[in-house]
């Protein structure tokens, strides 16, 4: 404590006993054999089941696009061989956010960008605009997670068509 009664000061960084090195641990024989399962005994699912909440009917009677988006995203991941590397929950989150974005866009097309304030009656921004922004943020974050896995595991193949001159120019390949 300082002379004026305040809590400040204290030990300075870098003082005190120096940390000791961690001793190396003897692992032993690292050539132990792993028994691999017989490939004919493995059960494979072509695609994970789509959750029921992604198929629920909507209040206005329309169908939610989340199931179709989930399937398309999963098939895209499978094309690059990354379907096992991305969590199903991330794909579900992306599909739901994308579907809700489409719903908000449809509502804006139907009702417009302005709404009436419930107490004053003045014109205010439609609540669908704020919801659209939030769903787009969620959608982008989920997509960046998915795309980063593909990009890390595919390298230049995931970036696009290398026959495109602009793509070659930007990537530095001739």
- For residues 123 and 114, is the Cβ–Cβ distance under 8 A? yes
**Contact, 73 vs 91, CB < 8 A?**
yes
pLDDT for res 90: 94
Tell me, what's the pLDDT at 16?
80
Give residue 17's Cα distance to chain centre: 44
Question: In the chain, where are the structural domains located?
Answer: 51-152
Confidence (pLDDT) at 66: 92
Q: Concatenated DSSP letters for 42-81?
A: ----SSPPPPGGGTPPPTTSPPPTHHHHHHHHHHHHHHTT
pLDDT in single tens digits along all 174 residues of the chain: 667 777 777 777 778 888 777 666 655 555 556 666 666 665 556 778 888 888 888 888 888 889 999 999 999 999 888 888 999 999 999 999 999 999 999 999 999 999 989 899 999 999 999 999 999 999 999 999 999 998 888 765 555 555 667 666 777 655
Grouping H, G, I as helix, E, B as strand and the rest as coil, residue 124 is: strand
Measured distance CA(101)–CA(130) in Å, rounded: 11
Q: How far apart are CA 69 and CA 76, in angstroms?
A: 10
- The Cα 126–Cα 113 span in angstroms is 5
pTM value surpassing 0.75: no
In three-state secondary structure terms, 169 is helix
């Amino acid at each position: 404590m300082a002379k004026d009664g305040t809590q400040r000061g204290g030990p300075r960084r870098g003082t005190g006993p120096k940390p000791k090195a961690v001793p190396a641990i003897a692992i032993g024989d690292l050539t132990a054999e792993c028994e691999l399962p017989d490939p004919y005994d493995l059960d494979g699912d072509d695609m994970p089941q789509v959750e029921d909440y992604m198929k629920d009917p909507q209040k206005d009677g329309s169908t939610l696009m989340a199931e179709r988006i989930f399937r398309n995203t999963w098939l895209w991941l499978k094309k690059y061989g990354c379907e096992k590397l991305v969590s199903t929950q991330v794909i579900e989150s992306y599909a739901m956010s994308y579907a809700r974005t489409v719903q908000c866009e449809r509502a804006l097309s139907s009702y417009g960008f302005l709404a009436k304030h419930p107490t004053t009656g003045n014109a205010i921004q439609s609540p669908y605009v704020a919801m659209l922004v939030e769903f787009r943020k969620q959608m982008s974050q989920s997509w960046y997670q998915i795309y980063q896995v593909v990009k890390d595991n595919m390298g230049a193949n995931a970036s696009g068509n290398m026959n495109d001159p602009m793509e070659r120019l930007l990537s530095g390949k001739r």
